[in-house]
Every structure is written in C-alpha cells, then in structure tokens.
Amino acid sequence: MRQFLIIGLCVLLSAAVFGETVHLKNGNRISGRVVKEEKDFIQLKTPHGKLKIPRSDIARIEKDNALKLLWKFKTKAPSYGSAATADIDGDGKLEIVFGTYFNDSHLYALNAEDGSLLWKVRSQGGPIDASVTIGDLTGDKKLDVVFADSANGLISCLNGKDGSLLWKHKSQSGTDSPAAFADVDGDGKPEVIYGTMWMRGGGWLNVLNGEDGTRVWDYRIEKGCIQSEPVVLDIDGDGSLDVVFTDWRGSDNVYALNGKTGKLIWKFKAGGWMYHGVAAGDLDADGKPEVVVCSTDGTLYVLDAKDASVKWRRKFTKHWAFAPVSLGDLDGDGKLEIVLTVRGVHVFRHDGKLLWKKDLKCTAARGAALADLDGDGRPEIVFGGGDRRLRIWRAADGEELASFDATCGKHEHEGIDHAPVIADFNGDGRSNIFFVCGKGTSDKTRSKNYGCAYVLTYGTGKGVWPTFRHDNRRSGCAAGPYRRK
C-alpha cells in the first residue's frame, strides 16, 4: 500500500519544480522541498501537500541549484564595499542596508523579501564609500545603523526603524573605512571603531562611544590613510579586545593597538600597500589566533596575532592584489583555509600549501563571501567581479557551480565592486545573495553613473555572510570572530 501510494503520486508531482527531486528506486521521481529529515524517512513539501517518504525507497535526491533572480532595485550609482542585513525595524523580517556612490549618495534600507523601500537618507558629504554597520549601540535592544559621508568624514548613527538621526560625529578627515562594533574599553557597551584618510600626512584610527558618538581615544599614523576596516580580537590572551588595522599609500604597515588605551602593541611592515584590513582566526586549531593579510605586491602573510612574528609568507601573484582575504573551513577538517580573489581565486591551506587556483581576467576587489548555498554542509565561494558576473564556485576545486550576468548598462567601467551579503531574505528557509553592480566614477562623467541591486536565490543551503567581512568585528572568517576558549 505504501509503495502504491508513492508511485501514484509521482504522476501528479514529478512535473513540479519545487526545490529538490527525489528519485525513487522504482524509477519514478517526485519534486518538492525537503522540510524534515529523519534516520528512516524524509518529509517532502510539494504543491499538493506534505509527503513522508521512507529512505529505503529513495535512490538519490537531486537538488535544484539554479541561480535565479528574486528581485532587483535600480539606483543612480553603484555601491562600493558591501551592505549589511538585519531586522532593523522589528517586524520579524530582514532588511538590507547599503550606501551609494557619486550621482546618488544615499543610504538605502530595503525590505529584503521583495526589495521595496523602507527608508532612505541622503549623504551630507558626497558619496557613501564605506560599508555600513548594524547593531544595538544605544542599549535599547533596537538596532541602529552607522554610515559615513566619505568626503567630509561625518559619521552618523541612525534609528534602524525609520532612519532618523540619533547622533553624528565629525572626523578629522574623510573616511572610506567600514566601522567595526565591539566593546574595546571594557565598559560593557559597544564602541564604533573606524579609520580616516590622511590630513597633513597621516590618518587616524578613531574609537567612539556607541551610545552618543563621543570620543574614547584616537591614534594617528605618521603616513598614509586608514582605508581598512579595523579588525577586533584579543590578540594576546589578556581577556581584553585589541584593534588591528592597515595603512594605505603610507608606510606599508599593519598595526595592533590595545583596545582600552589605544597604545601600540606591535607594528609589522609588509611589502606593499593594503587597502583592506586583515582576516583573523585560529588557522591551525592550536587555540591561538593568527592574522592574515595580503599586500598589493602580491604577497600573502600569516602572522602570530600576539607579536606579529611571521608564520609563513607566499608571493602568490604578479598582479595588483587589492582584495581582502577570506577564511573558512572549506574541507571539514576543523582548520581554516585562506581564499584570495586576485585575478581569479587562490586557496591555501593553513600551513601555506596551495590547494588550488583558477585564473580569471578580472579581480573581485571586495573579496569573497563563504557560505553553504547548496546544502552539503560546506561553504561555497561567492564573489562578483569587474566583468559584471556574480559567481559561485565549489570550494573543493573551483568548479563553477553557477554564475549570473548582472549587466545593467553599457559603460565600459561597469562592474561589481561590492562583496556579497548572504542570508535568508524571503523567509523560505534557503540562503539568498545580495550584491550591487554598476558604473561609478568620480570624474566629469559622474552624472552618468548608474547601478542596480540584485537578490538571487540558489540551492537549498542555509549559510550566512550577513555583512562586509562577515561580522561586526570584521573578522573575514566564516566561523565568526575569534574567541579564546
């Protein structure tokens, strides 16, 4: 009777493409979505209802991994850096927040399920060229949004529900540095940490009180800008958080500062400039963190976070290496691999051995997001490039699983200069991908800038990469910020 019921339903259900296709041992198949898995059976949701199928009757399950457009939202400029997603209005659904470049210069908050506008705020000082940050800064258990006017360095904290201003802070100079949120001074409340461009020689690393934007401390470098996102972690095991950042067009240094006092702990000289910051995590699972950074001369460095001693370095490319590093356990061995998106993708083991590389003619300037999109329990590598394509590559070997042509205009400088953000945006239990493509220049053609934001669906996985560099401490690690055990 059980076998007869399943065979009979196959005629009705096999034509419906709903998520997965269950191939039965008798040669029939049923399409639907797996909503429950037990040892002896699976439960499949179909357009005609739920169906319980014994595993003994199943030959294999084929997953629907087509890359499809969920929605898009047009702007007058692209978004550089990345976005952030969270339920900022308390309605139980996610929103997506991102800023735009010259010719638009707005901060947009969109309802993630359909791309409708929740609110928007215009910049008071040129483009919004740094990724936004979302978190509860004021202690009211409601989410706030921090963004920067890049040209004049005005930092603004907004009410997530309606975009109204909570506080603002005028920096020493302009800023392209995505802010980190963390309690670095130990007062039990989060601070806002970010860098500035140069002014009379060098830029500043600023720490502000999250509740009102007042200054906690700042640190000035002698030469260059701090374009990088600060990375926050306990580098020396003293129980307090520290701040690690890089300089750009300066002294080629990586800096580590004490989070409470702002005093220098160590400084490391790399072989070139560094626009983006480090990635941080316990690469080799020895209980101690490393920091990983790539300089523009094409050298990858792995440093002991405590004292910046070099564990290993690799000159891996002759090309301009602008993109940041991403970390994740790609093979399930409990150790972190290193992913770089410079003219293709390079993947290194924790010990420096090259696992694989695959070349492209373009660079993913904002790095890769690492998240499980196909439901196999391991992350895929997701990135957008200057050739306007969003790509999903298998982490094991770089096989392209899917790609999407995001072309939205005809200008030769159009591209994707935006790191993907990944979460379940429409509440269907599967991860979606958000990114922005467009043409964005600061020259006399800026009035012809344009952009388009996209949300794509792919596979049945539930992986997340919810903000630039994965989290508000900007770890760049799919496992999340490093925390000592």
CA–CA–CA angle 31, 35, 40 (5° rounding): 90
Output the pLDDT for position 64: 62
Condensed to tens digits (0 to 9), the pLDDT of residues 163-191 reads: 999 999 999 999 999 999 999 999 999 99
SS3 155: strand
Output the pLDDT for position 19: 61
Condensed to tens digits (0 to 9), the pLDDT of residues 371-401 reads: 999 888 999 999 999 999 999 999 999 999 9
Percentage of the chain with pLDDT > 70? 95
Q: Quickly state the pLDDT bin for 10 (edges 50, 70, 90).
A: very low
Rounded Cα distance between 479 and 352, Å, is 19
Q: Quickly state the pLDDT bin for 31 (edges 50, 70, 90).
A: confident
Q: Where are the beta strands (DSSP E) in 84-175?
A: 84-86, 95-99, 106-111, 117-122, 133-135, 144-149, 154-159, 165-170
Q: Which residue has the higher pLDDT, 64 or 289?
A: 289
- Dihedrals phi, psi of 105, to nearest 5 degrees: 55, 45
Percentage of the chain with pLDDT > 90? 85
Q: Quickly state the pLDDT bin for 22 (edges 50, 70, 90).
A: confident
Output the pLDDT for position 175: 97
Q: Quickly state the pLDDT bin for 14 (edges 50, 70, 90).
A: very low
Confidence check: pLDDT of 281 > 60: yes
What single letter denotes the amino acid at residue 78? P
β-bridge pairing 106-111 and 117-122? antiparallel
Q: Which residue has the higher pLDDT, 25 or 310?
A: 310
Output the pLDDT for position 364: 96
What residues have CB less than 8 Å from 43, skipping those under 6 apart? 34, 35, 36, 37, 50, 51, 52, 53
Output the pLDDT for position 63: 66
Nearest to 269 by CA among 284, 285, 255: 255
Mean pLDDT of 286-315: 98
The whole-chain average pLDDT of the chain stands at 93
Condensed to tens digits (0 to 9), the pLDDT of residues 213-232 reads: 999 999 999 999 999 999 99
Nearest to 184 by CA among 196, 193, 174: 193
Condensed to tens digits (0 to 9), the pLDDT of residues 348-364 reads: 999 999 999 999 999 89
